[in-house]
Every structure is written in C-alpha cells, then in structure tokens.
Structure 1
Amino acid sequence: MNLLSFAYRNVSRSKRTYGAFFLSSSFSVMVFFIYSMFIFHPDVKSGTIEALAIKAMEVAQWLIYIFSFFFILYSTSAFLSARKKELGLLSMLGMTNKKLRLLVFMENMFISLFSILTGIGFGLLFAKVFLLVGSKFLGLEPLSFYISWKSLSLTTIAFLALFMVITIFTSLMLKQTKLIELLVGSAKPKKEPKVSVWFSLLAIILFGVGYYLAITTTENNMVHRLLPCVASITIGTYFFFTQMSVFILKKLKKSRSFFWKRTRMLIISDLVFRMKDNARMFFLVTMVATVAISSVGAMASLNVYSKQFETNRPFALTYLYPNEDSIHEKNLETIEQDMKLQGMDYQKVEVHGKEAISGNTKNKVLLVPLSSYNEIATAKGYKTIQLLENETMIVPANLKYMHTIDTTPRDIPLAEVNVTLSLKGMVDQPIFNQYSIYVNQLVVHDEMIETLNNAKSFHYVGYMMDGWLENFEQTSKIGKSIHDQVMNNFEQLQKGEINQPPFIFTSAGYDYKMTKLAYRTMMFIGLLVGAVFFIAAGSFIYFRLYTDLEEDQVRYRAISKIGLTDKELKKIITSQLQCLFFIPIIVAVIHSLFAFTALQSLYTLSIVKESLIVILVFFIAQILYFLLIRQRYFTQVKRKMVL
C-alpha cells in the first residue's frame, strides 16, 4: 500500500473523530462562499444594493477567514496530539520522519479538500435560498441564482492557502517531537495542579473592573471604555479558568461533608485535573461564545430602533430655512405635489421663531412661539402648556437630551437681546424631528418673538402623515429632487464653497429606509458570523473530549471493576460533561449581559426582551448539542468497557 492510499484510508477510518472539524471548517467555507456570491452577483455590481452592505460583507467575510485560520490551527494541533501513539508506532515500524510528516501533510490536505468541496457544495445547494433570504434581509428585490467563477476561485484559493500554511506548520511541529514523546502520548503521569491565590483574586478584581466599566458606560464615553473593558474581561477570564476555577475545586475537596458523598469524590477529583488541562480551551470557548452572543444580541437589539425612530420624529417630512426666499416656496410646492401624487394625506405645520444665545451656557437655543408649540402638541396628542409673560419651558432636541438637561427653576438671560426668561420646567417630549434641529428650544410668548426684531430668524415647516412608518417606501420617494439638492449643498459645504446650506430637508421615510437597510445588513452578517463562532465553540469541546477519550476509557474501565454501576458511570460522565459544556457558556452569558448593559446606553427604549431571547436561543442550542454529544460519548466509553 502506497503512502497516498494509506493516508486516504486513515482519514476515512477517522471520519467520526474528524466529524466536528469537517462540520465547522465546511460551514466556515460555506459562509465565506455565500458572502462571495453576494459580493460578485451582477445585480449587486449594478447598484441594486447599497455600498455599505457590500463593505460590511467584505469585512465579515475576511473576519471569518482570519477566525478560521486560528480555529483550524487549534483543531489540527488537537488531533495531532490525540494521534501521537499511532504516529510513534508507525515510526517504530520503520517509517522515516520525512515520510511521517508527509503522511500527516497528505491527511491534512485530504481533510482540507473535503472541507472545501463540502462547503462549496452546500453553498451551491442552498445558494438560491441564501440569495432569497439575504435579499429579504437587505430589503431588496429577490436576487436571481447566479454562480460566479470569481467567488468559486476566491473561496478555493483562499482556503487552500489557509490549509496549506496550517499543514506546513503542523508538519514542522511534528518534526520537533521525539519518538519517546510520541509513544507516551497523553499517558504521562499528571501532577497535582498548583494555583495561585493572588492570581485567583486578580481574576475577581479584573471582572469587577470590566463589569463596572460596562454598567457605567454612556453614549459619550463608550469609545474610550471599550478597549479597557474588553481587556479586563479577557484577562480576567483567562485567570478565572487557569487559576480561580481550580482553586475553588481544591477548596471543595477539603470540605468533607461535600466531597465525601457518593460519586462526588470521583467527579471533583477528576474535574481538578480537567479544569487545569482544559483551561485554555475553556477560555477560547468562553470568548468565542461571548462574541457570538454579543454580536447576535447587538444585531437583534437594533430592532428596538424602529420603535424609537417614530418617537423621535413627530413629522414625516421637515423643511428648515433661515431666510425668506422664492426658492423655498418652490421647494415646498414640489414636496406637496409629490405627496398628492403618492395619494398621501398630510397636515402642514409652520413654525417661525428666533435664534438666541443662552447667557448661562453660551449655547445656541431656538425660541419657539407658544401658539406654534400648542398647535403641534394638539396635533400629536401631547399636553398643551400655558405660560405667563417672560416664562419659558425647555423643549429637548431629542429623547436622550431629556436625561441631561437641568430643569431647576432659574433665570435664563438671552445674550445680545437683553431679555431674561424665567424657566418653569421642561415639556414631556421633543416636538421637532431628531437631526433636523440639533439644539434645545425654549417655548416663549408670541409677543416675545415679535419684539426680537434684530435676532436671527428660523422657519420650520413640518408635514404630519399618519402611517408614514408603515409606508416608508412611499414616503422615502417624496421630495427626491429636494433631497438631491441637500446632498449637493452638503458637498459644497465640505469643500468650503459655501458657509452654510440654504435649507435643510429631511424625510423620515428615507432615513428609516437607509437605517433599516444598514441594520438588516448587520443582522444578516451577525447571524451568519455568530453561527460560525457558536459552532466553533462547540467544536472546541468536541475536540477536547475525543482527544481524552482513550484515557477516559481506560480510567472508567478500571473504576467499573471495583463496583461502579452503569447508572453511576452515566452520572459521573453527565456531571463532567455539564461542566465542560455549561461553565464556559454561563460565563459567556454573564459577560454578554454586561455587554448588553453597555449597549443599552445607546437606546432610549429597553432592549431587555431582545437580549433575553438571543441568550435563550443560544442556551437551547447548547443543551441540544450537549444531549447529542453526551449520548455518543457514553456509547464510546461503554464500548471500551465491554471489550
């Protein structure tokens, strides 16, 4: 039998052991291939999809590629470690070191080719489904089935190069291994794990620092806190598994009432060694699962934004201009004609106010006539207000500002106009669209507006339409020519050709359409990337179990000879597997909960429901995976005990 045939038969014989590796690597190839199909699709290239979605997919595609490199490197190292005895025997039977490394190289390349072919094959099989689902997520017309040679060649070349580099790397690792090390394999006697109390305490401190940074994060300081928070949690997690978990188990061993009871002695004693041996694997699984849960949870929470969107935009369309000009009358006529063509009823509200500078904060404020405020409040179903002469109330620019505004009754002098207002409080909600006006407003008597002849004016025209959010596609088309002028004015402003735009036009329907496209893109990416990460996290555990399988079979067979029943054996295995599967996921969930707490600072409405649903889905998936692996693992252990 030649070496090539031997390598192929060896891979075929070990397909059960390599099952999780095939699944995870093939899934990574498939997702990479799917993103390539989207990116190289002719409808995408012709401008059917926004450039933002394409860029996001390219980033996600190469993120999966980089992650796949480290995942496959860990997998091949784990399998190489599990096969040391077999390789040692082949070496004793006369196989040279060169041929031994060539054998491993051929085996890895067989696995690589199978993974690439399987991934691309399933990608092609489900291509139409993914294109339909993807275009639905992105709010596009259904994309037709199309096979791009660019996506096929890119996926094949990229993953062949990845597997080639890893295969060469593992062959070099094998070259450094001595024969005696191969023969001994993993059967070396284990010493009692040693841990440090100080490193265990450091894990608690780092968790405390990371969690404190997360729960005290605000929209303003999130960027600055992100790196130290992630670093604290990551380092703390490493010390938790390498030091603190073993320290806790060793303390439990000293408790006679807990330790000396039925099978706990066997479970705890074995866990002390397992936790130490698997600490790095637990760390990897926890961090990968945290990324998966947090990313999918973050994408799911974006659904809350649609509820928050309408609250922050009382008007479907807004038009803001500083001075009277015929161009504004023409633009408003165009907007109203578009609404009539779309068959949409509307209510028009005009606000003519003044600009001023607060003598206290030196910030610009807009003075809104009391009659205009009450007109908008009545139309929207808000509370109307009454003011005495020189009294005023603050109107927040948006919902988030409401929590930061000082509403203490006080005098507010207005610079340049020699007027002092008496602050009465703050209204319950904004009356202007978010991002159409960026500053807070003050409601004042109409007579006050009329006396401020020298102050700058502002004119705000808003159009209310019932059900604009449900019909955002129609609403987004209104005033398209005006919107094009706004974009042109913005470009001129950036180039310094103008000092300020002549007018500002915003369409809530257009803003919602673009925001929804961005969030749907992120959700589509988050689900696929999260699935890759979660499957990989489960595969790490699977690899470790089958790496230690032979050693576990010998140990359980020896224990069974002194009277261990099948029921007790199943209980021991279940308890140990529960620790392997659920300790990392529980720690990951705790990390994710604090990540969601930090994310909540970006929203006015609660994201608790969306966060809990994502966590529940991940837990159910982990339970199903645990039940499947437990049954297979118990069958493998029993088979050895019967023989």
Structure 2
Amino acid sequence: MISALGTMGMKVAQIIIFIFSFFFLLYSVSAFLKLRKKEFGILMILGMSRKQFYRLLFVENMIIGCAAIIAGIVAGTFLSKFLLIISANILAIEKGLSFYFPIKAALITAGAFLLLFLLISLFTSRLVRTGTVLELVKAEEKPKPEPKTSPWLSLLAIVLLAAGYGMVLCFAILQIISLGLLLSGVGLTILGTYFLFTQFSVYSIRGLKKRSRFFFKKTNMVTISEFMYRMKDNAVMFFLVSVISASAFTGIGTCLALGNSGLSEMINPYAFSYTSFGEKADKQAIETIKEELTKANIPFAMGSFKPIYTTNDTTLIKLSNYNEMAKALGYPTETVSTNQAIFTPTTVKQKNNWRIHGQTTKQLEIVQEKMNVDVTIKKALPYIVFPEVGSTTIIVSDKMYEKFLEGDESNYRDYRFVVKNWQETKEVAQNITKKLNPDNYNFSSLVLNWLTSKQENGLLLILSGLVGVVFFTFAASFIYFRLYADLDRDIQQYRMISKIGLSKKELSQIVTRQLVLLFFLPIVMAIIHGSLAFFALQRLVDFSVLKSSIIIFVTFGAAQVVYFFIARWRYLKHLYTKMV
C-alpha cells in the first residue's frame, strides 16, 4: 500500500511541477526577451528578417534548455543520495535506502523538459511583438504612466480578506466541517490578496506622498516614488509569490502534523490494547505483554473494562472500571449515584462537538430487552478514555452496571496498557507481536500503528516538501527576474540623481529599502496566511503544531534572508560598476 501510494503521489507531484515549470519558464524567458528589444531593433536595422528573428530565438532557447537539462540531471544525481538519507529517516526505514543511478528517471526528465523547452521556444518566439524598428529601439525610453488605483477596490481587498479569514476560522473554531466553506474561505483570501497588492498597497503608498513633511525628508521622495511604481509593476508577481509560498508552508506543515506522534495518541492514548474472550490463550497473551514490558524496564499501568451494548445503542461502562482507566491515564476519578450517568466521548469529532456546542442531554433512557431505565446525565467528560467503544457511551454506577450485566454470558473484555514514553516501545511491540503470532488481531500496538501511519504520511511530507521547495524556488526566481528586468532603467535613473548629489551611502539605503519590499513583503503576507492555516489546524488537533510551524517559517525565512543579501550584493555591484 505504501509503495502504491508513493507511486501515485510521485506521479501527481511530477505533473504539478511540470505544469508550474512551463509557466515559470514562459514568464522568465518572456521577461528576458523584453529587455532585449533594443538589441532586436538594431538587428532589424541591419537587415534581419522576421523568419530569421524567430529562428534566432528558437535556437537560443533550445541551447539554453539542453544545457539546463544536462546540468540539472548531473546536480540531481549528486543530491539524490542526500534526499535518500532524509527520506529513509522520515519513513523510519532502519536499513536506509540504497543509492543507484536512475537511468529511467534521467531519460524521462530529459525527454519531458526537452519537450517543455521546445514548447517554450515556440511560444516565446511568437510572444515578442516586433512592431516597428523605432518602437523596438526606443522601448526602454518610454516613460511609465503614474499608477492609478481605486479606493473602493482597496477597501474591497480588506473586506475579502476579513471574510476569507472569518470563514476559515468558522471552519476550525466552530468545527463546521464543510469543504464548501473551507474552499470559499481560501478563495476569498486569494482574491483579497490580489486586490491587496494591486490596489490597496499602491493606494497606501500614494497616501504617503501626500504627507509633505515625510515625503520631502532626505531620500524619502525617491524611495516612496519608486515604491509606488515597483508595487504597481510587481503586484501580480507579489500576489503569485505570496500565494505559492503560503501553499508551500501550509502543505508541508500539515504533512508534518500528520506524522506527529500526538495525532496517533489523540485518537488512542493506550500503548497496547488486547481484546480477551476469556480463553486460556488470551490470559497467556496478557501475561506475555506484562513480561515483555517488565523485561525492558518500562513502567506501565494497566486497566480493563467490559462494555455492555444495549438495545437502543447505548454503551455502558462500569464506574470502577472507568476510574481504573482514568487513573492510569492521569485523569481525575469520578463519582455517580445510582440513577446518574456521565457521558464519555469515544471519538475526536464527538469530543470537539461537545467542547464547542456543549452536551444538552439531561435525561437518557437505557433499554435492554425488557429492562427500561431512565438516568440523569451529570456531565460530559472533555477527554477520551474509551476510544471507538460506541457512539453513545456513558459511565454508570457499579450497581446499575451489575443490573444490566445479569444474563450477559459473554467473556469479552478489553485490556489497555498505558506507557508514558510509548514511542520507545517499538522493540517490545515487535517481540510481543512475534510471540502472539502476527495474525493475532486481538493485539494492537500504538507505536507500530504510528510508524505505519508515519510511513504513509511521510510520503506526503516528502512530496509536499519537494513541491514546496520547487514552489519557493519559483517564487524566489520571480523576484530575481523582476529585479534585473528593471536594472538598466535603475542605472540610468540613479546615474542622473547621483549627478545632483546622491552619495553612495544614500544610494545603498534607497536600494536596500526597495529590495526589502521586493523580497519580504510577499513572504510576510505568506507567513500571515500560513499562520492562520496553522491556527486553524491547531483547533482541530490536541497536540501542539507550534514547533513544526516555527521550523517551517524559520527555515524558509532564513533562506529568503540569505537570498536577499546575495541579490543585494550583486545588484549594488552592477549599479556601482555601470554608474561610474
């Protein structure tokens, strides 16, 4: 099953990466071609025909594509061993994954991306509008119109974001488990993010221009004016980067949560469970479990109970049995009178519903054949002690329980073992499984179930991690292309300003502020979106997702900071070199 899931997941990841690679390369190639319009105009003046022009672009793109494919396959081969080590650790494979040269994968990758570059080469050669020779030569000299925004669309951005966040919070806090509600919330958030960057951000910067004392202070005039143009030019790019990054954060964070041991413990808090039918082999099995735990010097607590299933689908648990189990788990004991009962949740969904909406049932009728008894509900417990025992499970007094037990001749009984550090009981669980026979379905081990779940969800984590890294790389590259697309214009602009007294230090300050906006504004927005997603996830589970969310934000944030300083250094170097 794990192998089949992994194969399916990898195929889906391949398709997603291939589709995004197409749009990414189309964007990047188009961005670089626009920078060469002046060059194309000069070639036209020298007599190049349109047919020769299209052939030039096609050959250039194919040469770059083939070089990229070869470099990518070589780099990927060297990095695959590192990925295999990480994958073996995530999937809890003790012997690891052996390294080999994936000839089939290399050929498929080469063929797929060769086709991709072929399509890109055909598309981009038609995307560049040659126009007149004069238009191409003077393409860089055209002044940009002042950005225009609408105050109503700016307000709409805030309204859409508030509505989207509200729907997601309703889904999580009120436990309204509706796919339509969740998708609507995500859709409104995405739409609100688009208007936030295209309208609200530019409108806010324009408001700063009206504050004369602030606007005319030192280099603020240049900085704010550039902010406004850059926001307008890069609004769609900011939107794409923030949405892609938020998707990567959320996907990886969710998969980390799925592999968390707390998820398994939340559903079933017992390290070992055994169902006995009163046979001699069952008694030996219970003794075997005790012996193996004692032999491994692992402290444990044991409890047992026998549920009574009534005619009207109510499950009865004896009070003394409950107190024994609750004490083992560290929960307080309870007391009930003869005609009282306590509701106990048996599923996470039921527990959350009671926590949010409360338990309004005050009286409950218990029907068992000819016996009919009404009990008063004292309260509902906020934690799970008897997982998956029955849909309506109540704790009743020993006297009431004995009354319903009369005539029940079954020897069915559940034994549960509580171990504090149950994650360390893998070897014990394997020894018990061997001694009880692997096909013995009466025995259940939490650590083995968790490791199986970890392997299944580990595949999702690996896939989401790979896709997330690819998305993040795309996002960083979008920023890089936009930065260097405006390099020539910036050189001319700063060269003119430097002639009227702009110092090197002031230039560095202006550029740094603009690059901070370019690099960190979409990431900050993505972190806000991701934080909301993690908050919603936290409301759905009992264990903390804070650590995994911090790891994700810090990892991607650190990568962005490093990328920022490298890009800033290279960009300033280009400016200083060409402005002299």
Is TM more than 0.5 here? yes
Equivalent-residue separation in structure 2 for 1:629 and 1:71 (angstroms): 19
SS in 1 for 2:544: coil
CA distance change for structure 1 residues 562 and 378 in 2, over 3 Å: closer, same or farther?
closer
CA distance in 1, matches of 2:44, 2:113: 31
SS at match of 1:397: coil
Partners in 2 of 1:437 and 1:182 — Cα distance? 76
Counterpart-to-counterpart distance in 1, 2:68 and 2:567:
22
Structure 2 residue aligned with 1:536, among 474, 478, 481?
Answer: 474
- 2:262 maps to 307
After superposition, the C-alpha distances for 1:77-131 in whole angstroms (9 at most, x for unaligned) are 1111111111221121122211211111111112111211111101222332222
Distance in 1 of aligned mates of 2:249 and 2:338: 56
TM-score, structure 1 normalization: 0.81
Aligned counterparts, 1:224-263, within 5 A: 224-263=180-219
Task: Find out whether 1:547 has 2:500 as its counterpart.
Answer: no
**2:126 & 2:82 partners in 1: Cα distance?**
42
Say if 2:136 is the partner of 1:198. Answer: no
Are the counterparts in 1 of residues 342 and 380 from structure 2 also a CA contact under 8 Å? yes
Residue in structure 2 matched with residue 266 of structure 1 by the alignment: 222
Q: How does 1:201-350 map to 2 (within 5 A)?
A: 201-218=155-172, 220-302=176-258, 305-310=260-265, 312-320=267-275, 330=281, 333=284, 349-350=303-304
Q: For each residue in 1:42-91, what CA deviation from the matched residue of structure 2 results, as whole angstroms up to 9, or x when unmatched?
A: xxxxx9x6432332233223222221111111111111111111122112
Q: Which residue of 2 aligns with 1:113?
A: 66
Task: Please show how residues 111-190 of structure 1 align to structure 2 within 5 Å.
Answer: 111-140=64-93, 141-174=95-128, 177-190=131-144
What is the DSSP-based 3-state SS (H/G/I as helix, E as strand, rest coil) of the residue aligned with 2:306?
Answer: strand
**Could you say which residue in structure 2 is the equivalent of 1:620?**
558
Deviations 1:588-629 (A, max 9, x none): 111111121222232122323332332233222222211111
How far apart are residue 533 of structure 1 and its match? 1.5
Per the TM alignment, residue 208 of structure 1 is displaced from its structure 2 partner at its CA by 0.8
Contact map agreement 2:364 2:376 (CA 8 A) in 1: yes
Match of 1:61 in 2: 14
Q: State the Cα distance separating 1:333 from its structure 2 match.
A: 4.8
Distance 1:404 1:458 in 2: 33
Alpha-carbon spacing, 1:263–1:420, altered in 2? closer, same or farther (3 Å): same
Q: Which residue in the other structure is 1:442 paired with?
A: 394
Structure 1 stretch displaced more, 287-296 or 312-321: 312-321
**Do the aligned residues in 1 keep the contact of 2:292 with 2:428 (CA within 8 Å)?**
no
How big is each residue's C-alpha offset from its partner over 1:322-343, in whole Å with a ceiling of 9 and x where there is no partner?
A: xx6x8x6656756765876796
CA–CA distance in structure 2, aligned partners of residues 609 and 249 of structure 1: 36
Whole-angstrom distance in 2 between the partners of 1:380 and 1:210: 40
Q: Distance in 2 between matches of 1:596 and 1:338?
A: 39
Q: Given that residues 347 and 465 in structure 1 are in contact (C-alpha distance below 8 angstroms), is that contact kept between their aligned partners in structure 2?
A: yes
SS of the residue corresponding to residue 404 of structure 1 reads helix
Matched residue type, 1:582: F
Letter in 1 for 2:332: K
Taking a change above 3 Å as real, the CA distance of residues 350 and 297 of structure 1, as seen in their structure-2 partners, is: closer
Structure 1, unaligned stretches of length 5 or more? 1-46, 359-363, 487-503
Correspondence for 1:611 among 534, 549, 552: 549
- Give yes or no for contact 1:217–1:601 (8 Å, CA) kept in 2: no
Which whole-Å CA distance do the structure 2 matches of 1:404 and 1:505 have between them? Answer: 30
Corresponding residue for 1:634? 572
Give 1:375's match in structure 2, choosing from 320, 324, 327. Answer: 324
User: How far is the alpha carbon of 1:185 from its aligned partner?
Assistant: 2.6
Work out whether 1:431 is the aligned partner of 2:385: yes
- Comparing 169-178 with 253-262, greater Cα deviation is found at 169-178
Distance 1:564 1:286 in 2: 34
Q: How does 1:457-606 map to 2 (within 5 A)?
A: 459-464=412-417, 466=419, 467-472=421-426, 474-475=428-429, 478-479=432-433, 484=439, 506-606=444-544
Please tell me the residue identity of whatever aligns with 1:223: L
Distance 1:253 1:96, change over 3 A: same
Cα RMSD, aligned residues only: 2.8
**Distance in 2, Cα, partners of 1:410 & 1:231:** 41
Question: Residue type of the partner of 1:132?
Answer: I
Contact conserved, 1:476 with 1:513, CA < 8 A, in 2?
Answer: no
Q: d(CA) in 1 for partners of 2:76 and 2:342?
A: 60
CA distance in 1, matches of 2:290, 2:61: 64
Which amino acid in 1 is paired with 2:323? N
Distance 2:273 2:317 in 1: 16
Q: CA deviation at 1:257?
A: 2.1
Equivalent pair of 1:97/1:175 in contact (CA under 8 Å):
no
The letter of the residue matching 2:389 is I
Task: Give unpaired runs (5+ residues) of structure 2.
Answer: none
- 1:210-244 deviation digits (Å, cap 9, x = unpaired): 11112222355252223212211111111112111
Q: Who is 1:28 aligned against?
A: none
**How many Å separate the matches in 2 of 1:275 and 1:353?**
65
Alignment coverage as a number of residue pairs:
566
Distance in 2, Cα, partners of 1:241 & 1:427? 47
Distance in 2 of aligned mates of 1:510 and 1:551: 62
Retained in 2: the 8 A contact 1:335–1:479?
Answer: no
For 1:387, what is the secondary structure of its paired residue?
coil
* Amino acid of the structure 1 residue aligned with 2:328: A
For the residue of structure 1 that corresponds to 2:141, the secondary structure is coil
Q: Distance in 1 between matches of 2:555 and 2:200?
A: 29
Q: Residues 332, 115 of structure 1: CA spacing in aligned structure 2 closer, same or farther, 3 A cutoff?
A: farther
Work out the CA distance in 2 between the residues paired with 1:591 and 1:379.
41
Partner of 2:51: 98
CA contact (8 A) 2:248 2:468 kept: yes
Pair 1:264–1:114, CA change in 2 (3 A): same
| Alpha-carbon contact 1:301-1:607 (below 8 Å) kept | yes
Answer yes or no: is the 8 Å Cα contact 1:483–1:505 preserved in 2: no
Q: 1:180 offset after TM fit, Å?
A: 3.7
Amino acid at match of 2:336: L
Query: Residue type matched to 2:248 in 1?
Result: A
State the TM-score, normalized to the length of structure 2.
0.89
One-letter code of the match for 1:391? Q
Give the whole-Å Cα distance in 1 for the aligned partners of 2:204 and 2:554.
Answer: 28
| Contact in 2 for aligned 1:408/1:425 (Cα 8 Å) | no
Aligned to 1:491: none
Alpha-carbon displacement from aligned partner over 1:455-497 (angstroms, at most 9, x marks no partner): 89793422415344212354267458877576xxxxxxxxxxx
**1:388 is matched by which residue type in structure 2?**
S
Q: Distance in 2 between matches of 1:347 and 1:190?
A: 75
